[in-house]
A = this chain, B = another copy of it.
Amino acid sequence: MRIGELATKAGVSVRALRYYEEQGLLGADRSPSGQRHYPDGAVDRVVLVQQLYAAGLSSRRILELLPCVYTGYATPETLRLLAAERDSIDAQIAGLTATRDRLDAVIAAAEASVTDGCLPHRTAARQN
């Protein structure tokens, strides 16, 4: 599979894939003319990389952790990094959950103020 197809299947840009290769996160076979060719498994790999980016990991950190994701091996140091990232993600989840609950409360209050028609003599809802 060539780079455009992989990009489409993984939901990222072609530029991103070249960037991942530059960072050592994604290898590629080359055709004689220099075009990149990827195996099917590359799709999952790219998706995983995206997930880790979304969790706030840097390219460097992902580079450290990716091998043991695929091999199942890890040095004690790498194991500590894995645990630390897991804990960081837990913390993010907790924070986001609190923020979401806060927003839910705000939404409930705002909806109530609309539903009850308790808007004062200011801009009426349906005006315009």
A residues near B, CB below 8 A? 48, 51-52, 54-55, 65, 68-69, 72-76, 78-79, 82-83, 85-86, 89-90, 92-93, 95-100, 102-104, 106-107, 109-111, 113-114, 119, 123, 125
Contacts and interface: CB of A to CB of B under 8 A. Distances in A.
Interface residues of A, dominant DSSP: helix
Given A82-B103, A99-B89, A102-B51, A113 B72 contact: yes
A12 B125 CA distance: 38
Q: Which of A74, A75, A79, A103 has the most CB of B within 10 A?
A: A103
Nearest to A85: B103
Contacts of A110: 68, 72-74, 78-79, 82
